[in-house]
Structure formats: C-alpha cells, structure tokens
Amino acid sequence: QCVLWKDNACCTANTSLEAHQDQSYLYNFNWDHCGAMPEKCKRHFIQDTCLYECSPNLGPWIDQADSSWRKERIRDVPLCQEECEQWWEDCQDAVTCKVNWHKGWNWTTG
C-alpha cells in the first residue's frame, strides 16, 4: 500500500513493512483489536498509515496534537469521493470497539 510514495518518501522500507503488520511497533496497535478486520477494509487503513508516515506533501494538513503519545497529527486531508465511497463499501460490515480512535485508549495492558 506504500508503493505510491516509493520514489519520493519520508519513510523507510522498514516503516512500510511495519505498516502492513497486524501488530506493528509503529503505534503498538492491532488492526484486529475487535476481531478480524476484513482484508478489503484493512487495506484502506494501511494505505492511510502509509500516507501519514511516507507522504512528503502533508505539510498543509499538519496540526499540533495535545497527546502524550504524539505531538502532531494530520487533519482535513482532501479525499477523493470515489476513495471515500470505496472505503465505506469495504468497511461497512467491520466493527470496532471505539467511537474515536484518536483518544481515550487504555494503554496500561499494552
């Protein structure tokens, strides 16, 4: 999923490899935290991770974050309507245990 940035990336090949792991050291996060995430859905989240980690063009969308685990985040990046609709189509039957993935996690158990 990171191939889009292979010729002009702000990440290493190892970062790309880790973005594709279900349990990655990048964020100490497992895509399957509420049961198996369908592969067709997971690919969108992996590509989103690749965008965040690898794109050299995110400057206009960097926002300061008041979080203990990161100092900045990417917000309001334009998304093509077709991509948005495909993401919804591929993930509409998937489940998560969180209302908001950006805050409120209990990391004490790892």
| 18-67 pLDDT tens trace | 888 877 777 777 888 788 889 999 999 889 888 988 999 999 999 988 77
pLDDT at 33: 79
Report pTM.
0.79
SS (H, E, C) 92-107: CCCCCCCCCCCCCCCC
CA torsion sign, 50 to 18 to 27 to 7?
negative
At 83, the amino acid letter reads E
Give the orientation angle of helix 81-91 with respect to helix 39-54, to 10 degrees.
140
Tell whether the model's pLDDT for residue 68 goes beyond 70: no
Domain limits of the chain?
3-29+37-91
Averaged pLDDT of the chain:
85
Whole-angstrom distance, CA of residue 63 vs CA of residue 106: 23
